[in-house]
């Protein structure tokens, strides 16, 4: 008889499906620690992402087999190609995101990276003929003002140097690539998210193998951090998120996901002595409010009151 880890937990009165908000919160706490794992590994971003894909693929393949998601007879060649293309975008997004940590700070990079939803909206307008409202435009303007503040480039003392600016540019590029991967994933229909991420990690292994410093000896501790990024941040966190999303309302998801940058800020301050400046904190608040406004459809534009 097949072993099902979720059924085993349920027999003990524990289920990740019973408390979806807590499940998503745990996933966000795990995700928020990725910057520390990347930094402590001491490896080049390309090498980090390569091993993230290796360990993540191993975990997700085992998970999908145990859960019965594989073999998947709906995986046509066209869908595999689309998943691989989305995977290439995601892998490049991870690489640029991780590169931003060393050029700026974990907190700054994580905050700026959270403008992804606005890039998704813009790409939908540009390529999917989706409509955009005046309210959405106002929320996007607010979010990008938040990026200007959160970037630290408006601070006159320190940090506003070319390397820092390049890190911000890479982070914005990472957010854009993530948005492209999101748009492409829409074409996969009802395919299990875990199967999609497995395809993406396998594509990343093939794509980065020629460029990752595979043969270079690494300290034993680095292997632990790299395995953690693959298993925790690419395997377990994704499984937790995909378990929670269908059971939560949009407002709850919008609020809980901001645990991610909060954890990153706390870690960056506690471990690396990088406190968040007031302007950056204001920028994060703006991005958070704008994201919630976009997802929840809050209205900002002035409308003429109807006549009595």
Q: pLDDT tens-digit profile of 20-41?
A: 999 999 999 999 999 999 999 9
Contacts for 191 with CB less than 8 Å, ≥ 6 apart: 72, 74, 75, 79, 83
Quick one: pLDDT at residue 158? 53
- Kindly tell me if the per-residue pLDDT of 4 is higher than 80: no
Residues of the chain with pLDDT > 90, as a percent, come to: 63
Quick one: pLDDT at residue 108? 95
Quick one: pLDDT at residue 91? 96
Quick one: pLDDT at residue 55? 98
Q: pLDDT tens-digit profile of 49-88?
A: 999 999 999 999 999 999 998 887 777 788 888 988 999 9
Of the candidates 113, 133, 149, which has an alpha carbon nearest to the alpha carbon of residue 300?
133
Q: In the structure, what pLDDT confidence band is assigned to residue 216 with cuts at 50, 70 and 90? A: confident
- Kindly tell me if the per-residue pLDDT of 12 is higher than 90: no
- Kindly tell me if the per-residue pLDDT of 16 is higher than 70: no
**Predicted TM-score of the model (pTM):** 0.89
Quick one: pLDDT at residue 25? 95
Per the model's pLDDT, the better-predicted residue between 283 and 156 turns out to be 283
Mean pLDDT for the chain? 87
How far apart (Å, rounded) are the C-alpha atoms in residues 38 and 99? Answer: 9
Q: pLDDT tens-digit profile of 228-256?
A: 999 999 999 999 998 898 888 888 888 89
- Kindly tell me if the per-residue pLDDT of 285 is higher than 90: yes
- Kindly tell me if the per-residue pLDDT of 157 is higher than 60: no
Average pLDDT, integer, range 94-110: 96
Q: pLDDT tens-digit profile of 141-155?
A: 999 999 999 998 876
């Amino acid at each position: 008889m097949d072993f099902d880890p979720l059924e085993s937990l349920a027999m003990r009165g524990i289920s990740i499906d019973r408390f979806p908000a807590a499940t998503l919160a745990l996933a966000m706490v795990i995700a928020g620690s990725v910057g520390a794992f990347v930094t402590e590994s001491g490896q080049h971003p390309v090498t980090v992402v390569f091993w993230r894909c290796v360990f993540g693929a191993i975990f997700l393949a085992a998970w999908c087999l145990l859960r019965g998601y594989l073999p998947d007879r709906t995986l046509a060649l066209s869908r595999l190609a689309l998943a691989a293309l989305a995977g290439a975008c995601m892998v490049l997004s991870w690489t640029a995101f991780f590169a931003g940590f060393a050029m700026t700070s974990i907190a700054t990079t994580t905050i700026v990276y959270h403008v992804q939803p606005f890039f998704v909206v813009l790409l939908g307008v540009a390529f999917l003929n989706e409509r955009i409202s005046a309210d959405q435009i106002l929320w996007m303007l607010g979010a990008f003002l938040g990026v200007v503040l959160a970037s630290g480039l408006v601070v006159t003392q320190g940090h506003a140097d070319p390397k820092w600016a390049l890190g911000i540019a890479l982070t914005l590029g990472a957010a854009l690539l993530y948005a492209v991967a999101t748009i492409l994933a829409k074409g996969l229909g009802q395919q299990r998210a875990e199967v999609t991420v497995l395809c993406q990690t396998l594509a990343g292994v093939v794509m980065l193998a020629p460029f990752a410093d595979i043969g270079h000896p690494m300290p034993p501790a680095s292997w632990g951090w790299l395995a953690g990024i693959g298993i925790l941040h690419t395997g377990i966190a994704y499984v937790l998120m995909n378990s929670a999303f269908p059971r939560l309302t949009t407002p709850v998801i919008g609020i809980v996901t901001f645990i991610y940058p909060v954890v990153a800020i706390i870690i960056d301050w506690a471990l690396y002595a990088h406190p968040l400046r007031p302007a950056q904190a204001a920028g994060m608040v703006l991005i958070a409010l704008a994201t919630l406004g976009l997802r929840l459809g809050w209205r900002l534009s002035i409308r003429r009151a109807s006549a009595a």
